[in-house]
Every structure is written in C-alpha cells, then in structure tokens.
Structure 1
Amino acid sequence: MRVGIIGGGITGLALTHYLAEEGIDSTTFEASEEPGGVIQTRHVDGRVLEAGPQRMRKTPGVAELAEAAGVGDAFVEAGDEKLYVYADGKLGRAPLSVEEFFRTDLLSWTGKARLLAEVFTRPGMEQETARDLFVRKFGREAYEKFIGPLYGGIYGSDPAEMPAAYALDSLMEREEKAGSFLQAFRKRVGQGQKAPPASMERGMQQLPNAVAETYRDRIELSTPVTDIEPVDGPETAFRVETDSGTEEFDHVVCTTPASVTADLLDGITTGIDDLDSLRYNPLALVYLEADLDREGFGYQVGYGEDLHTLGASWNASMFDRDGVYTVFLGGMHEPELVEQSDERLIEIAREEFETVTGADSSAIDVARLDPGFPAWDQSWWALEDVETPEGVDLATNYTARMGIPSRVREARELADSLTGRVDQRGSESAASTDSSAATAQADD
C-alpha cells in the first residue's frame, strides 16, 4: 500500500511517523513553506510567541512522537495549574479541584450548592446546545462565571451556538465512565488531567519541525495539492495532482481545513459541498510584555463583562517566557475585531489587560488566525451528509477532537487501521495463492 497524506500539520506529520514505523510507504504534501498547520511559533527579539495553541498535554503519545523526532528532552512542563475567570470586576480562581472549590470566591455558596447537584441531573443529550446542557447540569451562575467562559475559550466560541452532539460528544462519553459530567469536565479542561501541560524549549512549533526533519524524505513542503481523482483499475487508487506533477496512491488521507478538503474531494465524496459551510472563528492575538506578580496559566472573561478581550494566556508564568502575555480578541463574539488595525487591537488589549490584572504593559507584536479554530457550532450538522469513498479518510480537527494529543492519537489509530488493511490484503493474497496451488495439485 502507498498512502498520500494531504496536509503537514501535526495530524499529517504524526501519521507520517506511524506509517513509517509500520513500513508503509507514504508521501505528505504541505502547501506552506513550514510544517505544523495551526501550530505556529514566532521569535521576536528573542521572545517565544505562540501564534496558535499556547500549550499541549504531554501525553504518552505526544512524548513518544517527540522522542522519535529527537526532541524528547526539549519539553518544558508548566507548574501549578491555576486558571482564572474575570467576573464581577475581579479575578477569581476557577475551581478545578476540591480544595479550590471550597476556597474560590468566583461562585456564591448557592452557586456552589447548585453545581454539586449535578450528580442528580439526567445525562447530557445530543440534541441540546452546550449552553443548555451546562446550565441544566451546573446552574446559570456556574455557567456564566466558570464553565461557559472556560469551555467556550477553548474554541473562541459561544456555547449557545454549539450542539452537544459535536461539541460535547467526548465529554458525554466520559460522563458515562466517570459517573459525573463535572468530573469529565475537569479532566477535559484542567487539573483532572493526568498528563502535564507542556511546551517546547523553542516553542510549540519545535515539535512539528523536528518530525518533518526526521521524515524529510517523505514530506514535500511548498507543494499544494490541486486535485484528487480516482484511477480506473481493478484496485482502488487515486491520482494526486500538484503543481510539480502527479502521483498515484492506494489510499489518501486529507488533514486539510474544511474548505480545502471540499475543493479537493469535489465529485468523489458524497455531501462534500456542505463541508464548505463549516464555520471557523477568527482570532487576533496581541502579545504584551508586563511585570505581573501572579502565578497561573491565565484567565478567561466571564459572560456579562463589558470587555472586548476574550482572555489572556500567561506565557511568562507558565513557561518562563520573559514577561510575555498573550491577549485574545475576536472569536465568535466579535469576529469583526480581527479586521481592526494593529494599533487599535494593541490599544484594546493593553487597556483591558490593565483593567483585569492591574498591570501596565507594552506591545510586542500582533498576529491573526484566519480562518482560525473550528467553531463546532450549528454548521457542524453538515457533517451528517459527508461520506467518503473507500480509500479516502478525513483526519482533521473538525471531524474529530481538537488538541495536539487528540490529533496524535487519531493519527495512530488511523495508521493501525491502514496496517490492518495491508495485513488483510496479504492474507487474502496468500489464501488465493494457496487455493490456486491446491487446484493445480488436484489437476495434476
């Protein structure tokens, strides 16, 4: 089997690694000059600035991938995992542990009692929105001051627009195992996780860069794919076209953004036109330098606050990033903000960062993510009609969970599946040969 992988983000790179381990031939095509996809790191005046995910979980899968790429010793693990929410004009500690739950002033005692009553509510339902499910399970106060801002902040989305069937499917599965949706939420968002939060010495992009370098003979950068077509013949095959020529593969895996995938698979995948309707949330990132005497990972802004900013990542205290703080704007709440000038974004970020933390700051840089992160909103119902043909797989952050560990895990599972298909073909071929030999002996 020969596999064509479209997209050199972390999913495509991890799949490249696992297929190489299994001895399966593959070629990965990446349109840009650099690997990593949404994982992007800038270096400005010696500072490490993350223009994508600010951290990852150092799960066994992520650690193994880094070790195979020769950067297993480059992890920088975060310290005490403190998250905050700005609500009612002050920063409150998000109660992600039993001790924090009783100490936090983020929730009233009435709100805490309502949150604890979650175990008596019925399980989550797919037809609910994330907001409706959260309010029903935890109460309105906990949703507006704690649950909603933290969960919505992961996607830059509004939980009121996110169907539970897609946005919360993994949490509902974990609820069945944990016996509590609250415990499942803790494991998804904060301290319930076993794997430590981490980055790399030179930033998040050091990992995809190292994987791409390790498998440079299998990866073609600056090589956008322009079309994918089926090849007539007795076996399933596909022709992948690029500006530099065409190659044929037995199997194709698309890890590309929804609009790109829709163009490439047009005409060979059922319902693929609907993929173009999936909504992404654009984000603007303003990097500030500040002297802030606080420990933690950062904060999200609670609902109802008169602020434009969504929250801030405290890179300085997380990974000792030389006083760097990253402020986020835009998202589903105000996507038009991303179009504002750098000067205006900096003005908003500095003013509101001081309002929340009390610290003065200066600007370092501005970045924009467009299309940004998948919104997981009502447009995701379009996935119901998408059906890929045999020999084509989608391995993406909009058809499965976001997050680097999830992307690596899906790559491993897909590689195992493809290896199984190769083994099955080998068994069928051997069985056919044995049958032919037996027939020949009978004829003799």
Structure 2
Amino acid sequence: MRVGVVGAGISGLSLVHALADRDVDVVAFEARDEPGGIMRSRRIDGRVVELGPQRLRLTPSIESMVDELGLRDQLQRGDDDQPLYIYYDGKLRVVPLSVREALTTDLLSPLGKLRILKEPLTDSARPNETVDEFLVRKFGRQAARRYMGPLYSGLYGTDPQDMLVEYSLGRALENAGIDGSILAAIVRRVLSDRETPPICTFENGLGELSERLYEEHADAVSLETPVTEIRAADGGYELLTDDGREVVDEVVVTTPAGTSADLLEPVDSELAATLERFNYNPIGVVFLESSFDGEGIGSLVPSTEDVPISGLTWNASFLDRDGVFTCYIDPGRYPAMPDSSDEELGSVAAQAFERITGAPATPIHVHRWNPGMPAYDRSWTAMDDLELPSSVHLCSNYVGRPGIPGRIRNATRLAEEIAK
C-alpha cells in the first residue's frame, strides 16, 4: 500500500511520521518552500517570533515525539503560574481560571460570580443554540460575555453569536470528555489533583518541531511541489504535480477546505461543493517590541470594547522572549484589515498595545494568514453533508481538533486506521 499526503503542515508531517512508524509507504507534497504550515517560526532582529501558535502544552504524545526527534535539549518550559487578562471597561482584569482568581478578580460582580454556581442546574446544549446563547444560559450574562465567550471565540475571529454550539464548543467539550455540567467537571478535575501539561516551546521556536519532522522524513516529503489535481485511477488515485504524477492507494488531504475542494473536484464534485461552504477568517499577526514588564500570559479583548484587536500574547513574560508581544487583528474587529498595508496594521497594533498596557511598542514584523482560522460559524453545518469517497481522507483543523496536540492525535489515529 502506498499513501499520498497533500500538504506538509503539522498535520501532514505528523501523519507521515506516524505512517512511517508503521512501515507504511508514504509520499507527501508541499507547495511552500518550507514545512510546517501554520507552525513556523522566524528570527526577526535577533528575536524569535511564532507565525502561528505561540506555545504548546507538553502532552504525553508531544513529549514522546520530542524525545523521538532528539529535541529534548532545545525544549523550553514557559511559566504557567501567570495570569491571563481581559481588557474590560478600560482596564486589565484577571480571568478567573483558579479558585483564588475567581474570588479576587474584579472582572465579575459578586452577583455575577454567584450566578456561575447555578450552572449545574442548567440543561445541556439545545438544537441550533449559539455559543453566546449557551454560555449566557449556563453561566449568566456577565461571565459569558466578559470572558468565556472571548476566551473561546477569540482564537477564531468569530462572534460567539455566529457560532453554533453543536459544531464548535460542543465538539471541544465532547473531546474533553464533558457530558453534563461543565462546572462539575472542572471541580472533579481540581479534586483529582491531575496536573495540566506544562506550557512549552523550543529555543528557536515551535518551528523546530516542524523542521525536525521534515528532516526525519525528507526522503518522503517534496517541498515546492504543489499538487495541482487529484484524479481517480486504477482503484487508487493520481496526484498530479508540475513534475509528473504519483499513483497511490490512499490519499490524505491536509490543506484548508477551499484548497481541498479544488483538488478533489475531479474525484467528487459534490464533495468539492460541500468543502467550498466552510468559511475561514483572515488574521493579521503583528509582532511588537516593548519594554513593558507586566507579568501575564496575555490579554483578550471582548468585542464590546472599542479596541481594534482581539488580543495579545505576552511572549516576553511567560516564555521569556526578549521584549516580544504578539497582537492579533481580524476583520471583525478592524474591517479594513484585509486591505491595510503592513505599516497600517503595525500602527493599529502598537496604538492598541499602548492603550491596553500603558506602554509604547514598536512593530517589528507583520504576518497574514489567509485563509486564516476556521470560522466555526454557521457554515459548519456543512459537516452534516461531508461524505468521502473510498480511500480519501481529510486530516485538517476544520474536521478535527484545531490545536496542535489535537492535530497530532488526529494524524496518529488516521495513520492507525490506514495501516490496518
């Protein structure tokens, strides 16, 4: 059996790695001149910046991969014991992620805190319920709109009122094994004294993991070789590139939904039409340098605030990255974002940073993701119509978990399925 993988982002690389471990013949193609997809790093003016995710959780599967790839010496742990903030009503306020923070934060009023305690008495998600409706009903308006909604939806750049629970937060809760009261599940977790995997990165950024995976399997991964079309052929599939064609028995597509639709159109036009329905939100990532010395993991900005960014990661604080802060801008917060120059986005980010922290900042780099993050909005009802032809697989964030540990787990599970 020969498996063809389209895309060498973290999903594709993890899949190649897992298939090779199972002695499966695999070949992969990547359009870019470097591997990693969303998980790539840069060194700008001597400072490490992350184009995509800013850190990982050192889960057992990732720790195992780190050791397999000989990256233990490059591993760096972040400081988990720092607060996360919400910028609300013109002030940074601590997000209550612990009992102590829940008692001391001024983000919620006393009544707002008491309202959270009613959550175990509420029902599970209802049909066609939005994330906003669900969180308000479960935890009350204050908790839902001041921090729970932004905490979940900020990553995707979508308003919680446009996200259906069934296709977004509900899937995350299911993956976490939560069926019933969320608050009760949190209490059980605290009482179990189970440790949360620590935050981690690498000396030269998360891109080190992508680069090492590629180096380990360089003979199976072709960079700068975009697949232009996928066709059915002799009980398998042909992957067409400018260099020729590759015949495989199984094909795995790891690209964003729109790209996947174009590639799979010759195989299944109905599948392609379904894939075209999934929405993505473009995201601008602005890296800032500042002498701000506040301690924290970052700060989220609810959509109720008149600030044109969705949040900041304080890399300088919890990851000890010299003076680096990362700012996120999406069209929902700054409608002109897609057409703005890098200089304009840098200025918007620096002004927002100073407003939030009180400290000046200088833009050092701008990166754009388009397509950016899966929107997980109402277009995700397309999941109900997603039917794949035999021996065609999708392994990407829009059909699985969006986080890096989740993508690696999805790739490993798929490799096990294919190998059988």
For the criterion TM > 0.5, the same-fold answer is yes
* 1:66–1:211 contact (8 Å) kept in structure 2: no
Q: CA deviation at 1:306?
A: 1.1
2:362 alignment partner, SS class: strand
Aligned amino acid, residue 414 of structure 1: L
Q: CA deviation at 1:72?
A: 2.9
Aligned amino acid, residue 281 of structure 1: N
Aligned amino acid, residue 411 of structure 2: A
Deviations 1:166-194 (A, max 9, x none): 1123334267647522466898xxx9972
Aligned to 1:396: 396
Q: CA deviation at 1:86?
A: 0.4
Q: 1:202 to 1:241 in 2, by over 3 A?
A: same
Q: 1:171 to 1:185 in 2, by over 3 A?
A: farther
* 1:30–1:224 contact (8 Å) kept in structure 2: yes
Q: 1:288 to 1:61 in 2, by over 3 A?
A: same
| CA RMSD, Structure 1 to Structure 2 (Å) | 1.9
Distance in 1, Cα, partners of 2:167 & 2:26: 31
Distance in 2, Cα, partners of 1:339 & 1:208: 30
Aligned to 1:336: 336
Aligned amino acid, residue 199 of structure 1: T
Aligned amino acid, residue 371 of structure 1: P
Kindly indicate which of the two structures has a greater share of residues assigned to helix: 1
Instruction: Using the TM superposition, name which of 65-74 and 105-114 deviates more.
Output: 65-74
What is the identity percentage for the equivalent residue pairs of Structure 1 and Structure 2?
43
Distance in 1, Cα, partners of 2:294 & 2:404: 27
1:39 alignment partner, SS class: coil
Instruction: Using the TM superposition, name which of 369-378 and 176-185 deviates more.
Output: 176-185
2:289 alignment partner, SS class: strand
Bigger Rg, structure 1 or 2: 1
Q: 1:130 to 1:119 in 2, by over 3 A?
A: same
* 2:132–2:145 contact (8 Å) kept in structure 1: no
Aligned to 1:358: 358
Distance in 1, Cα, partners of 2:185 & 2:241: 44
Residue 123 of structure 2 corresponds to residue 113 of structure 1: no
Residue 374 of structure 2 corresponds to residue 374 of structure 1: yes
* 1:175–1:183 contact (8 Å) kept in structure 2: no
Distance in 1, Cα, partners of 2:415 & 2:54: 27
Distance in 1, Cα, partners of 2:286 & 2:18: 36
Q: 1:396 to 1:183 in 2, by over 3 A?
A: farther
Aligned to 1:128: 129
Q: Flag structure 1 segments of 5+ consecutive residues without an equivalent.
A: 421-444
Aligned amino acid, residue 337 of structure 2: L
Distance in 1, Cα, partners of 2:150 & 2:47: 28
Q: CA deviation at 1:243?
A: 0.7
Aligned amino acid, residue 87 of structure 1: Y
Distance in 2, Cα, partners of 1:69 & 1:328: 31
Aligned to 1:248: 247
Distance in 2, Cα, partners of 1:238 & 1:52: 32
1:260 alignment partner, SS class: helix
Q: CA deviation at 1:383?
A: 2.5
Distance in 2, Cα, partners of 1:71 & 1:333: 38
Aligned to 1:424: none
Instruction: Using the TM superposition, name which of 6-15 and 328-337 deviates more.
Output: 328-337
* 1:107–1:141 contact (8 Å) kept in structure 2: yes
Q: CA deviation at 1:346?
A: 2.1
Distance in 1, Cα, partners of 2:167 & 2:75: 31
Q: CA deviation at 1:332?
A: 3.5
Aligned amino acid, residue 164 of structure 1: V
Aligned to 1:41: 41
Deviations 1:118-152 (A, max 9, x none): 11111123521111111111111111211011111
* 2:264–2:271 contact (8 Å) kept in structure 1: no
* 1:58–1:197 contact (8 Å) kept in structure 2: yes
Instruction: Using the TM superposition, name which of 148-157 and 312-321 deviates more.
Output: 148-157
Q: 1:164 to 1:177 in 2, by over 3 A?
A: closer
Aligned to 1:259: 258
Deviations 1:220-255 (A, max 9, x none): 1111001111113xxx31111111011111100000
Aligned amino acid, residue 133 of structure 1: F
1:73 alignment partner, SS class: helix
Q: 1:175 to 1:217 in 2, by over 3 A?
A: closer
| Matched ranges for 1:69-218 at <5 A | 69-79=69-79, 80-173=81-174, 177=178, 179-182=180-183, 194-218=196-220
Distance in 1, Cα, partners of 2:163 & 2:305: 21
* 1:289–1:361 contact (8 Å) kept in structure 2: yes
Aligned to 1:431: none
* 1:283–1:335 contact (8 Å) kept in structure 2: no
Aligned to 1:349: 349
Aligned amino acid, residue 23 of structure 1: D
Instruction: Using the TM superposition, name which of 91-100 and 121-130 deviates more.
Output: 121-130
* 1:8–1:35 contact (8 Å) kept in structure 2: yes
Q: 1:31 to 1:170 in 2, by over 3 A?
A: same
* 1:69–1:211 contact (8 Å) kept in structure 2: yes
